[in-house]
């Protein structure tokens, strides 16, 4: 009998991926269906529906779902959900589609799913702006009313993504036909919720924390994971292996770096490394909630939330991704509330006077004594060939990252935000 937290939504793992004869028949049928070209983001969403990562979702959201999620963190049936999962299409495609139609969802020549359309609805420019203000606008300096729209269209990849969406959304259930490149490209790292749960059960874990990563692990990440290991049965180091923004370090390099760190600096029985196939939305606090929601489906009941989780620029408050968990609806019907709770950890760093890793809760010294650690700061230094300060990362990991940057032919400017530089630390 599993001791793990149940999947989100009260329906068990809802897996839309077909197998065997059913898959073969649907693939054949898909050849004759109208094909809709989907974005990389939608491709990741489809795969997550396929493997049960987005349970209880079995398709793309209706307008009522979209509105409820943006406005009050709930789908139309009352289930907690923090960010819209929608499928856009052009007006030309939408004109030829009606409720009840079946279509094929294609990306880069691969049909990832078929979908039975239940609703077609327009999203105006005003609707998209409203979504952005609800989902991406935070409490940081760049989210101030007089700054947000001046800055976001240039510097916020999530806002740019939503505003670039096509004019119509299609809602409906999906039958997933492909997991894309992930099973082969990331063999042993790309794991489904069922596979991860089985690994937890085999180890007898009940209390499991997840560390979200989109950067290689530096010393702060390592410290966060080890804090969680001390108070939980184990930790899932869970890396995004979908698309990131330009200038971020690709998944294969990050996986190699994490493997190296786990090999040399962790007790392997207490940690599992895995990857999941989503694109980053850079929604800060809302994305922290999304990370907790789908981690619950992987069997995780605690989400490690540190400084500026899933943030970009200075759009979000330093610990807004922690406090948002205190603002979500909890008095919901059985199974519909979020059960994966935050493990809130203060700003962490290396302190020279403490002679070790510390946080604002444990270190009494000044910021001049501290080595401020952040993925953005590390990427900026590596991209510019600058010296990496002592205690920033493990030497074995830095060798891997320097080798990657030395092989780049095109350099991308990395913008520093206040939190990453340490400028806002008192």
List the beta bridge partners of residue 359: 348
Residues carrying an active site annotation: 214-215
Pick the closest to residue 235 from 260, 259, 212, 253 (CA basis): 212
Order of strands, sheet of 208-213, starting from the edge strand that comes earlier in the sequence: 271-276, 234-240, 208-213, 302-305, 341-344
The whole-number pLDDT of residue 314 equals 94
In the block, tokens 């693939």 appear at 27
Domains, the chain, ordered by start: 20-123+165-178 (3.10.400.10), 187-421 (3.40.50.620)
Cβ count within 10 A of residue 195: 12
The whole-number pLDDT of residue 126 equals 98
What is the C-alpha end-to-end distance of the chain, expressed in Å? 49
- The CA R_g of the chain, rounded to the nearest whole Å, is 21
Predicted confidence pLDDT, tens digits, the chain (426 residues): 899 999 999 999 999 999 999 999 999 999 999 999 999 999 999 999 999 999 999 999 999 999 999 999 999 999 999 999 999 999 999 999 999 999 999 999 999 999 999 999 999 999 999 999 999 999 999 999 999 999 999 999 999 999 999 999 999 999 999 999 999 999 999 999 999 999 999 999 999 999 999 887 889 999 999 999 999 999 999 999 988 777 788 889 999 999 999 999 999 999 999 999 999 899 999 999 999 999 999 999 999 999 999 999 999 999 999 999 999 999 999 999 999 999 999 999 999 999 999 999 999 999 999 998 877 788 888 888 888 888 888 999 999 999 998 888 776 666 655 555 565 656
Which 8-state DSSP code applies to residue 337? Answer: S
The whole-number pLDDT of residue 187 equals 95
The whole-number pLDDT of residue 414 equals 60
Predicted TM-score of the model (pTM) = 0.94
């Amino acid at each position: 009998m599993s001791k793990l937290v149940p999947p989100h939504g009260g329906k068990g793992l809802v897996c839309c991926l077909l197998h065997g004869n059913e898959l073969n028949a649907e693939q054949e049928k898909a050849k004759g269906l109208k094909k809709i070209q989907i974005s990389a983001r939608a491709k990741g969403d489809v795969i997550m529906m396929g493997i049960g990562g987005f349970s209880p979702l079995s398709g793309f959201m209706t307008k009522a779902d979209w509105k409820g999620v943006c406005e009050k963190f709930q789908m139309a049936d009352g289930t907690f959900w923090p960010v819209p999962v929608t499928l856009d299409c052009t007006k030309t495609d939408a004109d030829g589609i009606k409720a009840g139609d079946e279509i094929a969802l294609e990306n880069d020549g691969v049909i990832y799913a078929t979908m039975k359309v239940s609703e077609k609805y327009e999203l105006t420019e005003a609707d998209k702006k409203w979504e952005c203000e609800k989902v991406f606008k935070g409490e940081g300096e760049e989210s101030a009313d007089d700054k947000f729209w001046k800055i976001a269209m240039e510097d916020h990849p999530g806002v740019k993504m939503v505003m670039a969406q096509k004019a119509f959304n299609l809602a409906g259930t999906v039958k997933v036909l492909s997991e894309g490149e992930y099973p082969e490209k990331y063999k042993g790292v790309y794991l489904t919720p069922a596979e991860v749960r089985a690994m937890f059960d085999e180890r007898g874990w009940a209390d499991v924390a997840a560390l979200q990563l989109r950067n290689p692990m530096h010393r702060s990440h390592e410290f966060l994971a080890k804090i969680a290991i001390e108070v939980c049965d184990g930790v899932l180091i869970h890396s995004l292996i979908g698309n990131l923004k330009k200038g971020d370090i690709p998944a294969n390099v990050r996986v190699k770096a994490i493997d190296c760190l786990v090999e040399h600096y962790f007790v392997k029985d207490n940690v599992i490394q895995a990857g999941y196939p989503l694109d980053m939305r850079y929604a800060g606090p809302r994305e922290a909630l999304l990370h907790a929601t789908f981690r619950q489906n992987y069997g995780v009941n605690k989400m490690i939330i540190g400084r500026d989780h899933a943030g970009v620029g200075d759009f979000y408050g330093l610990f807004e991704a922690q406090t948002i968990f205190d603002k979500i609806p909890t008095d919901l019907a059985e199974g519909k509330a979020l059960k994966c709770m935050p493990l809130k950890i203060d700003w962490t760093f290396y302190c020279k006077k403490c002679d070790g890793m510390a946080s604002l809760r444990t270190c009494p010294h000044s910021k001049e004594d501290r080595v401020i650690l952040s993925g953005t700061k590390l990427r900026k230094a590596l991209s510019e060939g600058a010296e990496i300060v002592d205690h920033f990362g493990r030497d074995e990991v830095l060798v891997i990252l320097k080798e990657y940057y030395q092989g780049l032919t095109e350099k991308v400017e990395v913008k520093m935000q206040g939190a990453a530089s340490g400028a806002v630390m008192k």
